[in-house]
Amino acid sequence: MGEHFRGEAMPIFASMSWTRTAPLLLCAVVALNACRKDASSDTDQTGGPTGPTPLTLQVPSWSVDTAHALNLPYDNPLTVEGVALGRKLFYEKALSNDFSMSCATCHRQENAFSDPRQFSVGTDGSLGRRQGMAIINTAWDHFFFWDARAFSLELQAFGPVSNPIEMANSWPVVVQRLQQHPEYPELFRRAFGSATIDSLHVAYALAQFERTLISLNSRFDRYYYGGDATALTEEEVRGKDLFFGRAHCDNCHMLPLFLDHGVRNIGLPPGPDQGLAEVSGISDHRGRFKTTTLRNIEVTAPYMHDGRFATLEEVVDFYADDVVLTTSNLDPHMFPWVNDEVHLSAQDRLDLVAFLKTLTDEGFLNNPAFSEPQ
């Protein structure tokens, strides 16, 4: 769901140190669509398997490095049944108080699971204050929401359901609805071994599905990693060279994920939203927001935490002309701007926008495995 946090809605996150890491992590490369049942799994009296089927995610070797290892919790391993349940729940409108909204309402596949509106709209018509972020390659992520207040997808999933300006529901009501549903108890039994439903396992299932939303097959990937020299045009190659060169875009948007797991103040003109400082209470964290991925950026407008920019052209113009260099806690990654090293001509800007559009992954945007189950 979108970013509609009002401090009181999720006090568990506000009480946590923002630098706290997630629990013990199983950092292993797992592979999507290569599903197998572990030979040691429990079996019934007929010798057939009774437990959930372990799921592995197939990711290219170049997508995992020392700075970008998969971040998979040991206590919620991926399974075929868990992912299928999470997919169904992602599109389930019974999670909202009036049955009008699901996670997919504000995270649309055609927009790389982001919200094309500047601010998402709650069940009572309330507007949030932050743009609904894209859900892409979250299996690598370490924290969630624009202000980094949730340290796992599981923790993130709890918030929107009970947020009064999002789904405006309560977890006891959600659990009761799912428990009385003709299908869900059996789906939970298959996924987690018990037909008794609770909010934790709802969050577990949603997180499992979201970790399968992997996007690593853009034209850029085919050019850069696949060696297809015809995948990009001359204009796009010029934009690539700028991106990784004198435009300094990759200072924060690093390969292979086009992010750096940072929470940074990039010199936006300040507004009322204080970002990380609202969670940590530390004044130096004012205006710091999560660095988001640029993958599929072409379809995830509007941009920035408050959706202030409607187009990629506006974003590039901001970095070229409007970074507030006097910001007291400007991130060190912005020093090339302080040192007056970033100069972009009109052609440079066109080239950069052209390159950014090569990060669109059409297969991801149209993958039937991610769409609403029928």
pLDDT at 66: 83
Contact 213, 232 (CB under 8 A): no
Closest residue by Cα to residue 115 from 100, 125, 103: 103
What three-state secondary structure class fits 51?
coil
For the chain, what percent of residues have pLDDT higher than 70? 87
**What is the Cα 176 distance to its own chain's centre?**
28
Report the CATH number of the 219-362 domain: 1.10.760.10
Mean pLDDT, range 10-36, rounded to an integer:
34
Burial (CB count <10 Å: 0-12, 13-18, 19+), residue 361: buried
Contact 176, 308 (CB under 8 A): no
Contact 30, 63 (CB under 8 A): no
Going by pLDDT thresholds of 50, 70 and 90, the confidence category of residue 211 is very high
199: which residues sit within 8 A by CB, 6+ positions away? 158, 171, 174, 175
pLDDT at 67: 82
Q: What is the mean pLDDT of the chain?
A: 89
CA separation for the pair 255, 260 (Å, rounded):
8
> Tell me, what DSSP letter sits at residue 104?
H
Going by pLDDT thresholds of 50, 70 and 90, the confidence category of residue 264 is very high
Q: Does this chain's domain 7-215 share its CATH topology with 219-362?
A: yes
> Tell me, what DSSP letter sits at residue 296?
T
CA separation for the pair 11, 15 (Å, rounded):
6
CA separation for the pair 333, 225 (Å, rounded):
26
pLDDT in tens, 232-246: 999 999 999 999 999
> What is this structure's pTM?
0.87
Compare 163 and 23 and report the one with higher pLDDT. Answer: 163
> Tell me, what DSSP letter sits at residue 123?
T
174: which residues sit within 8 A by CB, 6+ positions away? 94, 95, 161, 199, 202
Show me where the domains of the chain are located: 7-215, 219-362
Mean pLDDT, range 166-184, rounded to an integer:
98
CA separation for the pair 1, 119 (Å, rounded):
11
Residue 166 annotated as catalytic: yes
Catalytic residue from among 3, 81, 154, 166: 166
CA separation for the pair 87, 168 (Å, rounded):
21
Mean pLDDT, range 350-365, rounded to an integer:
98
CA separation for the pair 137, 218 (Å, rounded):
13
Mean pLDDT, range 79-93, rounded to an integer:
98
143: which residues sit within 8 A by CB, 6+ positions away? 18, 149, 150, 151, 261, 263, 290
End-to-end CA distance of the chain: 22
Going by pLDDT thresholds of 50, 70 and 90, the confidence category of residue 3 is low
Mean pLDDT, range 70-77, rounded to an integer:
95
Q: How many CB atoms lie within 10 A of CB 165?
A: 22
**Which residues lie across from 43 on neighbouring strands?**
49
CA separation for the pair 150, 142 (Å, rounded):
9
CATH architecture of 7-215: Orthogonal Bundle (1.10)
Q: Is residue 44 pLDDT above 90, yes or no?
A: no
pLDDT at 68: 87
